[in-house]
Amino acid sequence: MRLRRRAPSQPAGRTGDRVLFALCAFAVLLVGLTLFGVIFQLISNANPSISRFGLPFLTHTTWKPNKPFETFGAGAMIYGTVVSSLFALALATPLGIAIGLYLSMMARPGVRAVVGSMVEMLAAVPSVIMGFWGLYVLAPFMATHIEPALHSVLGFIPLFGAAQTTGLGLFTAGVILALMILPIIASLSRDLFMTVPAELKDGAAALGATRWEIIRGIVLPTTASGVAAATVLGLGRALGEAIAVTLVVGNLTKIQASLFKPGVTMASLIANEFQYPESKLHVPSLFYLALVLVVIGLLASLAARAIAGRFDVHSQFGVT
């Protein structure tokens, strides 16, 4: 009887391992290809608009896609995107950090689990439902209650002009965006605050610090860069939200001083106009707009990573 040179499982194992490796590598490659594909598709489809309008597209504020004009400029959209996102961030950041503090330092474990999942559940609400609710419930409420009140108190600031009858505008869009990014900031900052070593907090408490002094002196400084990264992540989400914004923003491609007036963002304009191109350069210009949006979003993403990369409480304090 002749001995086999190899155990029967070995060649099969080797082939199997190769197949597994190839499949895994293929999947990883797909991720990379997709990202490059996105950039390639945006550039190639935007090309007619890029070569026609060039960089002044970014500052030009007239957007008239219909036939006799065919003028395209992204100024109003960039303005609307920046204003609504920053407003959303201004609302959601303090709220989110406060919720993170409550969940990580004050709530009992049972309450923490329930409230924490409810806050995260807010992120599960689809954007179309958020926008639909904003259009038919929030916007009328804004128009009749919040906006007149803000106008009467802060009316001397041009941002808070006279209320509109519909309530559709950058202000309502900002509030909806704030609701959508609040769970991101809240749950990320909760996770960050939970990583603060108990020794540091206990030490401060033993020295007589009140809870607020522990927060201000220990918790926030050790997690500051992580919280900043969470905020930038929220910003990235707000910049790119299309459907919810398009339903409540009013879709007027014009820069107006008052937040209560209808406006437009880059993503909302794409969602609103892509199906109905009115001239040859309309679709390429929307792709150009998308390219600008992606570049801004990628920069935000990379910034968040760079900030978060510096954050490592354990190495900072030598606590393991």
Partner 1 sequence: MTEYADAPDWTGPLTASGNLRRRERVSRAIEFGAIAAAIIAVAMLALVVAGVVSHGASNLSFSFVTTNESAIAGGGIGNALIGTGVVVAAGALLAIPIGVLTALYVTEVAGPASRSGRALKLGLDLMQGLPTVIVGLFIYGLIVLSQGKQTGWAASVALAIVMLPLTARASQEVLQLVPASLREAADALGVARWRAVVGVILPAAAGGIATGSILAVARAAGETAPVLICNSIYTANTTQLNIFTHGIPTIPMYIYLSTDSIDPNAIKLAWAAAFVLLICILAANIGARVLLARNRARILGG
Among positions 248-287, residues that touch partner 1 (CB under 8 A) are 267, 270-271, 274-275, 286-287
Separation between Cα atoms, residue 105 and residue 84, nearest integer Å: 31
Look-up: residue for tokens 């009992």? Answer: 108
Is there binding between residue 315 and partner 1 (CB under 8 A)? no
Kindly provide the residue ranges of all beta strands, DSSP E only, lying in 246-304, ordered along the sequence. none
The helix/strand/coil state of 71 is strand
Spatial contact of 70 and 281, defined as CB atoms under 8 Å apart: yes
Q: Name the segment binding partner 1 (CB under 8 A); options: 48-56, 145-153, 157-165, 179-187.
A: 179-187
Is there binding between residue 102 and partner 1 (CB under 8 A)? yes
Q: Name the segment binding partner 1 (CB under 8 A); options: 21-29, 66-74, 155-163, 253-261.
A: 21-29
Taking residues 38 to 77 in sequence order and writing x for each that binds partner 1 by CB under 8 A, - otherwise, the string is x--xx-xx--------------------------------
- Residues paired with residue 71 on neighbouring β-strands, in sequence order: 64
Work out how close the CB of 149 gets to partner 1 at its nearest, in angstroms, rounded to a whole number: 17
Work out how close the CB of 68 gets to partner 1 at its nearest, in angstroms, rounded to a whole number: 25
Work out how close the CB of 54 gets to partner 1 at its nearest, in angstroms, rounded to a whole number: 21
At residue 252, what are phi and psi to the nearest 5 degrees?
Answer: -120, 120
**CB neighbour burial string for 56-87, b if at least 16 within 10 angstroms, e if fewer:** ebeebeebebeeeeebbbbbbbbbbbebbbeb
Which token pair is 280?
A: 């040859």
Select the residue interacting with partner 1 from 8, 32, 109, 110 (CB under 8 A): 32
**Contact partners, residue 146, CB within 8 Å, separation at least 6:** none
Restricted to residues 77-96, the positions that interact with partner 1 (CB under 8 A) are 94-96
Select the residue interacting with partner 1 from 78, 179, 196, 219 (CB under 8 A): 179
Which token pair is 110?
A: 């049972």
Is there binding between residue 26 and partner 1 (CB under 8 A)? yes
Work out how close the CB of 36 gets to partner 1 at its nearest, in angstroms, rounded to a whole number: 10
Q: Name the segment binding partner 1 (CB under 8 A); options: 60-68, 72-80, 146-154, 297-305.
A: 297-305
Restricted to residues 227-246, the positions that interact with partner 1 (CB under 8 A) are 233, 236, 239-243
* Nearest C-alpha neighbor of 226 from the set 117, 234, 87: 234
**CB neighbour burial string for 184-199, b if at least 16 within 10 angstroms, e if fewer:** bbbbbbbbbbeebbee
At residue 263, what are phi and psi to the nearest 5 degrees?
Answer: -145, -155
Work out how close the CB of 268 gets to partner 1 at its nearest, in angstroms, rounded to a whole number: 9
Restricted to residues 105-124, the positions that interact with partner 1 (CB under 8 A) are 106-107, 115, 117-119, 121-122, 124
- Residues paired with residue 250 on neighbouring β-strands, in sequence order: 263
